[in-house]
Structure 1
């Protein structure tokens, strides 16, 4: 208990930029040499209440070594005589380790203000390859087939269609319906490439967040007896309530979803074996497009898994895992290596290639989607999987 109080004191001093050199050395030593996990648990508890704020750059390499020590203490110790076919690696401390690096970075930055270092030598060789995380951006395809790149378009009204005004804002695209047109219904399509995500507010006020490599097709005005959209990829929906005009999501060749007003996530990438509909709030019913079986009604916390063989309902599913991407996280709970790589491939705009006999590893834990690729790979390499990044965003996965 006394050690926990001492850790809390040192962390408070660090965050306030009042820590002495001796106190910073003590804090580093406590975490670096902790084998029981007590120090790390205390750090985690402190971080949950005091999230670190962004600060100027620091000596990342030095503090990553400290994070590595934290990660090493988290590896599972198993019976050396009984090696399972599927290896399991926990990443749950990696997110905290990264946060600890940021906290320690505050201290490094504090020292740099009081003890300026000599300028770094200029590196004349090629800098190591790395990939930035994805960001907001999409392509809007209008009813006449013309395209608008939303990454570069300025905020404000970008077009008017059939009485609907389309406005680009800092947080996404918004459709504001005006006087209804008597003409033919016009459809727009929002597409995100690899390394992009985007939010759109539909004409009825429903909000849709698109993950990377996803497409949403929708009318510029909802008319008739229902509000219908088509999805490919992954999206999180917050549907505006309208009992007289049900909202329907169609995933061609996979599933049809009908709702009145609710929040749910749909993961239906074409390169994944199954699609997943996870209900956060409200109620939805789902049917399989290629099966004659009836519809399955979901309750909050349910997840429907659909594949070629049919549909299966999972109650009390891991909702946090399903919506982690929307909240800026990768959630790898029970995720195999290849599924994980497909997620990274979409978010970092990669071409993933497997070289040699890559081990079958199952991961558990979370990582921030704001990390550079090199930081993510540093965490994954603790699972004895190795990587080589080549020109053209080509990532080689090796044993």
Structure 2
């Protein structure tokens, strides 16, 4: 990328860990304004290319002060004190993610390498490998029970069923009806494992983004009076409008939703006690599975929590947090340790276990989902929680 002399100077100061408070503020302003060469992607790329120089002598107090300059705007005024929970403000908005990771992770890396006892390796002479982030991929189960692994399939038409052509593109799977279709209703299922996400365009044009460890079951053609699909996990829906054919979403054992045309996010994993439906636009009517009456109609910006205790609506929900995953981010704003680790477990395909008396830590901020696991853990290590990655993608959480 092309830089003016001042931007190059500021980036060099940051990469060398010598940036002053004024220089950090100046660099922040350039990134926020989107100056040429100063997008977060370009800055991150530059730092990765030029930041591989020997680190200066480690000064723990200096690193905490410098990191604090960036992170101080993350501080919340009037934090509640009723519950004695430690708060860890380790990242600000995405615009700061790359710079903060460089500052915090570099200092933590140097400290851990040269100022801490080295742990015994799990296998003689080697350390467990780092873990790559999740990526696009899914398994398609056809009406006859046959399966196709979409991770390795090539682009193009992969099947034709009941008058519908199924096309695989780089950004997902698309169902394109060619005629009305006849005969028995046929269903397909798209399943994402841990470490996978996928996008599906249904026969009616509805777009669905599936997060890791999720599944979506739907008819190959919507020929009935209503468009009925079944789902579990987490997904972001942009439902095509068709007042004459309502769209219904069933989450087995949890909730039933009815919409006409709307945008919403559903988090309804089987290993979570509650499900969360967050409405972005439109309207959605929700009821608990197997219970009569007691429906709730959500308005944009509202979130419904449903569980064994019933349903509860949050009027001014954090929509940005609920949909961050779809935009390539982790949003840990106000999130407890175990809830956060369940997100990492699904995205990085991990087995997470806890060792010892792990403190009740609450996190704030955002982080890119494109980072390797080691980079994420380096940021989290600023809390009183530590991690050990063992063979078999086993992540041990320790005090």
TM bracket (short chain): 0.7 to 0.9
Structure 1 residues 393 and 247, CA gap change in structure 2 (3 angstroms): same
Q: CA deviation at 1:47?
A: 1.6
Work out the CA distance in 2 between the residues paired with 1:316 and 1:21. 42
Work out the CA distance in 2 between the residues paired with 1:63 and 1:382. 19
The answer to whether the 8 Å contact 2:10/2:23 transfers is no
The answer to whether the 8 Å contact 1:67/1:101 transfers is no
The answer to whether the 8 Å contact 1:267/1:277 transfers is yes
Partner of 1:175: 175
Q: CA deviation at 1:223?
A: 1.2
Partner of 1:252: 252
Work out the CA distance in 2 between the residues paired with 1:179 and 1:277. 34
Taking structure 1 as the reference length, the TM-score comes to 0.82
Partner of 1:222: 222
RMSD (Å) for aligned C-alpha atoms: 3.1
SS in structure 2 at match of 1:346: helix
The answer to whether the 8 Å contact 2:236/2:266 transfers is yes
Work out the CA distance in 2 between the residues paired with 1:338 and 1:61. 36
1:138-287 equivalent positions in 2, closer than 5 A: 138-287=138-287
The answer to whether the 8 Å contact 1:31/1:40 transfers is no
Q: CA deviation at 1:212?
A: 0.3
Q: CA deviation at 1:208?
A: 0.1
The answer to whether the 8 Å contact 2:355/2:397 transfers is yes
1:363-374 equivalent positions in 2, closer than 5 A: 363-374=363-374
1:315-354 equivalent positions in 2, closer than 5 A: 315-354=315-354
Structure 1 residues 300 and 275, CA gap change in structure 2 (3 angstroms): same
Q: CA deviation at 1:85?
A: 2.7
The answer to whether the 8 Å contact 1:67/1:97 transfers is no
Work out the CA distance in 2 between the residues paired with 1:83 and 1:285. 35
The answer to whether the 8 Å contact 2:101/2:379 transfers is no
Structure 1 residues 393 and 18, CA gap change in structure 2 (3 angstroms): same
Q: CA deviation at 1:63?
A: 7.4
Structure 1 residues 20 and 280, CA gap change in structure 2 (3 angstroms): closer
Structure 1: segments with no counterpart, 5+ residues: 1-13, 105-123
Count how many residue pairs are aligned between Structure 1 and Structure 2. Answer: 361
Structure 2: segments with no counterpart, 5+ residues: 104-123
Structure 1 residues 39 and 327, CA gap change in structure 2 (3 angstroms): same
* Structure 1 residue 44 corresponds to structure 2 residue 25: no
Q: CA deviation at 1:293?
A: 3.5
The answer to whether the 8 Å contact 1:67/1:98 transfers is no
Q: CA deviation at 1:69?
A: 5.5
SS in structure 2 at match of 1:313: strand
- Superposed CA offset, 1:327-386 (max 9, x none): 000001110000000000000000000000000001111000011100000000001210
Structure 1 residues 103 and 172, CA gap change in structure 2 (3 angstroms): same
Work out the CA distance in 2 between the residues paired with 1:390 and 1:61. 29
Q: Which moved more, 1:360-369 or 1:88-97?
A: 88-97
Work out the CA distance in 2 between the residues paired with 1:217 and 1:338. 29
Q: CA deviation at 1:273?
A: 1.7
Partner of 1:89: 88
Structure 1 residues 316 and 24, CA gap change in structure 2 (3 angstroms): closer
Q: CA deviation at 1:159?
A: 0.5
The answer to whether the 8 Å contact 2:67/2:100 transfers is no
Q: Which moved more, 1:225-234 or 1:288-297?
A: 288-297
1:377-392 equivalent positions in 2, closer than 5 A: 377-392=377-392
The answer to whether the 8 Å contact 1:94/1:379 transfers is no
